[in-house]
Amino acid sequence: MLNVFLKPLGAGGSKPSSLDRIVQSSYDLGDAKDIFKLAQSVMREERIPLTSFSTNEKEFHFEIPSTMLQATPTWVPESEAVPLSPREAIRLGMPHAQAQRPKFDSCICTSVAITSVESHSKSSHWFYFLHFLPVMDGRTYYSDAIPVVLLLDGSVVEPRVTDPAHD
């Protein structure tokens, strides 16, 4: 028996993502065609855009597979507390921000926004959009913002990064 675990490009971390839990499957060694078909279906899956962020040098596009979105907790702001507190979102996002700028001493969170995935008022899927700034020798580098997107299950969404000068 061969265990196959499919991960979206750029996914990492020790905690399995919602998508990992959905597509984990086991196959006999002789079923290579089935493995290939499953990989193709995951790659073709509808992707939901969450947000984008631009700097002078890079564009960050945050999007996730629709199955990953459906596996996250929902939230109705008028009737319940958010499943992931802002404090916990910052705690989970900080290591990701620091990993993006490893030569700096630390990072500080300067903005926390919880945003609806859908644009209508009846939305039940939300995500956190956090901004961090790197710090070195007590100096904050305001021009080097680090965007971090977290789903309400605590999963960090890896951005697709593009260079606007070469697109």
Distance, CA of 127 to CA of 13 (rounded, Å) = 19
Tens digits of residue pLDDT in 106-149: 999 999 999 999 865 566 899 999 999 999 999 999 988 999 99
Predicted confidence (pLDDT) at residue 161 exceeds the cutoff of 80: yes
pLDDT at 167: 60
Model pLDDT for residues 91-108, shown as the tens digit of each residue: 999 999 999 999 999 999
CA nearest neighbour of 17 among 92, 82, 101, 75? 92
Task: Provide the residue ranges of all domains of the chain, joining segments of one domain with +.
Answer: 46-166
Question: Is this prediction's pTM over 0.75?
Answer: no
